[in-house]
A = this chain, B = another copy of it.
Amino acid sequence: MRNDGRDTNQLRPVTIETDYLVHPEGSVLITVGQTKVICTATIEDRIPSFLRGQGKGWITAEYSMLPRATGSRTQREATKGKIGGRTMEIQRLIGRALRAVVNLEALGERTLWIDCDVIQADGGTRTASITGAFVAMTMAIAKLQDAKQLPEFPVTDFLAATSVGMDEELGAILDLNYLEDSTANVDMNIIQTGSGQFVELQGTGEEATFTRQQLNEMLDLGDEGIKKLIEIQKEALGEIADRIGYQLGVL
């Protein structure tokens, strides 16, 4: 049995509290077990210079952890004066993933700034960030639509992320907490759409390797987890979820 009593194919308890902050256009607090992330979406009426004149928008993300989100204190990147490699990887990943389910032409010449700030960490902070950021972003975009500033709803599908891994004894497991993450042989992050397609797949066996069959077992678990996460996103989004359904042609 897993260290927190879960089955191998079981997610941790997940909650998504919307409108968590008063200022941002979209904001949520997502809780996945003990992992807590504030995700906000900001709409800016400008685009980066490399996109000028193309009539489309952009989505970019930043990620950070409070110093004591972790068991021992982590030095602030602002204090160090530079952003580390892990942070850069994660914020590039979040932005890339969200752009895969947004029609940037329909968004128009705007930038969506996604900020994911981990206030408490227990494994899976990057996947929780993506799952939460999708909701914050969609709510911000819905406000734009409500204000009649969009020709059509630009979010083309749901998007959620989770992790899977190979445990020495239990085999493939879903949604690793920090302790599991530290001891697993393989750690894979899966980002999928509501239609079940892959947006991104990142599997690494630091100081270990994995076979094609193990890959398949992990992908099966991931598929199951993503479906449940998207159910939770739909509840959090309420009526706004239907707007995506219309885009998908299922509503």
**Residues of A that sit less than 8 Å from B by CB:** 21-24, 27, 34, 38, 40, 42, 44, 62, 64, 66-71, 73, 76-89, 91-92, 96, 99-100, 104, 113, 115, 117, 119-120, 188, 193, 195, 197-212, 215, 219
Known A-B contacts A68-B115, A100-B206; the reply to A73 vs B85 at CB < 8 A is no
Instruction: Identify A22's interface contact among B120, B198, B211, CB under 8 A.
Output: B120
Instruction: Identify A113's interface contact among B67, B200, B212, CB under 8 A.
Output: B67
Known A-B contacts A85-B92, A120-B22, A201-B203; the reply to A100 vs B215 at CB < 8 A is no
B residues less than 8 Å from A71 (CB atoms): 23
Q: Considering the complex, give the chain B residue whose CB is closest to the CB of A91.
A: B85
Q: Considering the complex, give the chain B residue whose CB is closest to the CB of A209.
A: B197
Instruction: Identify A212's interface contact among B87, B92, B219, CB under 8 A.
Output: B219
B residues less than 8 Å from A70 (CB atoms): 23
Instruction: Identify A203's interface contact among B83, B100, B198, CB under 8 A.
Output: B198
Instruction: List 24 A–B pairs whose Cβ atoms lie within 8 Å, in order of A's numbering.
Output: A21-B119, A22-B34, A23-B69, A23-B70, A42-B67, A42-B73, A67-B115, A73-B113, A78-B83, A81-B81, A84-B88, A85-B88, A85-B91, A89-B92, A96-B204, A99-B207, A117-B119, A188-B201, A198-B203, A198-B212, A199-B204, A201-B201, A201-B203, A202-B203
Chain B: minimal CB distance from A142 (Å): 17
B residues less than 8 Å from A81 (CB atoms): 81-82
Chain B: minimal CB distance from A106 (Å): 13
Q: Are B120 and A23 in contact (CB under 8 A)?
A: yes
Cα A21 to Cα B36 in complex, Å, equals: 10
Cα A211 to Cα B193 in complex, Å, equals: 11
Chain A binding surface, main DSSP class:
mixed
Q: Considering the complex, give the chain B residue whose CB is closest to the CB of A204.
A: B200
Known A-B contacts A88-B89, A115-B66; the reply to A205 vs B209 at CB < 8 A is no
B residues less than 8 Å from A91 (CB atoms): 85
Cα A181 to Cα B126 in complex, Å, equals: 26
Known A-B contacts A66-B117, A73-B44, A92-B85; the reply to A198 vs B219 at CB < 8 A is no
B residues less than 8 Å from A198 (CB atoms): 203, 205, 209-212, 215
